[in-house]
C-alpha cells in the first residue's frame, strides 16, 4: 500500500491540524471523526480527499431512522414473499433479495475507497456502537448467506458529526478526531481566493469585515458560516454590487446588501433592524 498524503486541493483549503488528522487516519487505516460548526466544509472534506487521492467515493448519509444494518445489507423479505406467490424462479436464491448497503459496496471496491459516513449523530445512540466491529476489523457477517464479508482494502473512513449527541467512548477511542474551528480572517481570505480567484481586493476586504462584524453581533440565533459567506459573495458578484456599498458608513444605517444570504432567521433580521434603528437615533 502506497502512503498517500492529503494536503488540500485547489478547491479546498486544509489547515495544518486537519491534514495531520486526515493523514494519520489514512496511514493507520482508522476512521477520522470530523466535528465543527455547520457550514465549515465537513462533508466536502471527504469528497476532496477522494478527489485528491483519486479514489472511488462512497457516501452514506445518516438520518434519525437509519440503523447500522442499513449500511451493511438488507434482506427484502416482502419482495421474496411476493415473488413466491407469483411463482418467480428467483425465489430459490436468497442472494436475489439481499440488498447491499454502502459499507458493503465500499468493502467490495477494487481500489482503496473513501467512505463518508455523514452526520453520524443524527442516528440513534446505539448506532455507532453497532458499527464498532465493522469499522475495526472491516468485516461483517451475513446471517442469511452464512458468509463473512471482508474489505479487500481498508477504506479511508471519514465520519462527520454536528454534535447533536454525545458519541459513545468506545467508538471515539477508535477514531482520530478533528474539530474544524471557524476559520480566522487569514484562512478565510485563502478560502475565498480558492472559490473566487481574482476577486477585487477592496470588495473582499469590505465583505469580510462586514461578515466578521455580523458574526460578532451578540444574540444572533444562527451565526453565518463559511458556506453562507461564499453564497453571499456569489450574490454580490452576480448583482455587481460595488465595494463602496459595503463601506462602514452605509452599513450602520441599513442592512448589508443581500442580507438574506447571511441571516437565515427572521428574528436575527429583526435584531439587526433594531440595532440600525438605534444607530440612526444616536446619529441624530
Contacts to other proteins by CB under 8 A: 3, 16-17, 20-21, 23-24, 27-28, 30, 32-33, 35, 37, 77-78, 81-82, 85, 163-166, 169, 172-179, 181, 218-219, 221-223
Residue keyed to cell 469585515:
209
Q: Taking the complex as a whole, how short is the minimal distance between the CB of residue 164 and other proteins, in angstroms?
A: 6
Give, for 205, the enclosing helix (H) or strand (E): helix 201-216
**Nine cell digits for residue 183:** 476559520
Q: Taking the complex as a whole, how short is the minimal distance between the CB of residue 220 and other proteins, in angstroms?
A: 8
Q: How many CB atoms neighbour CB 245 within 10 A?
A: 16
Q: Choose between 133 and 181: whose C-beta lies nearer to other proteins.
A: 181
Q: Choose between 47 and 121: whose C-beta lies nearer to other proteins.
A: 121
Collapsing DSSP to helix, strand or coil, 163 comes out as coil
Q: Taking the complex as a whole, how short is the minimal distance between the CB of residue 113 and other proteins, in angstroms?
A: 21
Terminal alpha carbon distance of the chain:
70
Give, for 22, the enclosing helix (H) or strand (E): helix 16-28
Q: Choose between 68 and 159: whose C-beta lies nearer to other proteins.
A: 159
Nearest C-alpha neighbor of 267 from the set 229, 208, 222: 222
Q: Taking the complex as a whole, how short is the minimal distance between the CB of residue 162 and other proteins, in angstroms?
A: 9
Q: Choose between 128 and 257: whose C-beta lies nearer to other proteins.
A: 128
CA triplet 217, 201, 193: central angle to 5 degrees?
85
Q: Taking the complex as a whole, how short is the minimal distance between the CB of residue 4 and other proteins, in angstroms?
A: 13
CA triplet 72, 78, 82: central angle to 5 degrees?
140
Q: Choose between 76 and 130: whose C-beta lies nearer to other proteins.
A: 76
Amino acid at each position: 500500500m502506497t502512503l498517500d498524503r492529503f494536503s488540500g486541493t485547489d478547491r479546498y483549503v486544509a489547515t495544518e491540524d486537519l491534514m495531520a488528522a486526515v493523514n494519520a487516519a489514512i496511514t493507520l487505516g482508522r476512521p477520522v471523526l470530523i466535528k465543527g460548526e455547520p457550514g465549515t466544509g465537513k462533508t466536502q472534506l471527504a469528497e476532496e480527499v477522494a478527489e485528491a487521492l483519486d479514489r472511488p467515493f462512497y457516501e452514506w448519509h445518516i438520518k434519525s431512522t437509519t440503523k447500522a444494518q442499513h449500511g451493511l445489507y438488507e434482506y427484502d423479505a416482502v419482495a421474496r414473499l411476493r415473488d413466491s406467490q407469483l411463482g418467480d424462479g428467483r425465489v430459490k436464491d436468497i442472494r436475489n433479495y439481499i440488498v447491499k448497503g454502502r459499507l458493503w459496496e465500499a468493502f467490495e471496491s477494487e481500489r482503496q475507497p473513501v467512505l463518508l459516513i455523514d452526520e453520524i449523530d443524527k442516528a440513534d445512540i446505539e448506532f455507532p456502537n453497532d458499527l464498532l466491529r465493522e469499522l475495526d476489523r472491516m468485516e461483517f457477517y451475513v446471517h442469511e448467506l452464512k458468509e463473512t464479508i471482508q474489505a479487500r482494502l481498508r477504506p479511508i473512513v471519514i465520519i462527520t458529526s454536528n454534535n447533536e449527541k454525545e458519541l459513545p467512548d468506545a467508538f471515539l477511542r477508535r477514531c482520530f478526531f478533528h474539530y474544524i474551528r471557524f476559520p480566522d480572517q487569514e484562512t478565510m481570505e485563502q478560502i475565498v481566493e480558492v472559490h473566487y480567484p481574482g476577486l477585487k481586493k477592496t470588495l473582499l476586504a469590505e465583505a469580510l469585515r462586514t461578515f466578521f462584524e455580523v458574526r460578532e453581533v451578540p444574540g444572533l440565533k444562527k451565526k453565518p458560516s463559511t458556506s453562507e459567506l461564499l453564497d453571499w459573495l456569489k450574490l454580490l458578484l452576480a448583482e455587481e454590487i460595488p465595494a463602496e456599498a459595503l463601506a462602514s458608513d452605509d452599513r450602520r444605517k441599513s442592512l448589508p446588501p443581500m442580507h438574506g444570504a447571511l441571516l437565515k432567521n427572521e428574528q436575527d433580521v429583526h435584531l439587526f433592524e433594531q440595532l440600525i434603528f438605534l444607530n440612526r437615533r444616536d446619529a441624530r
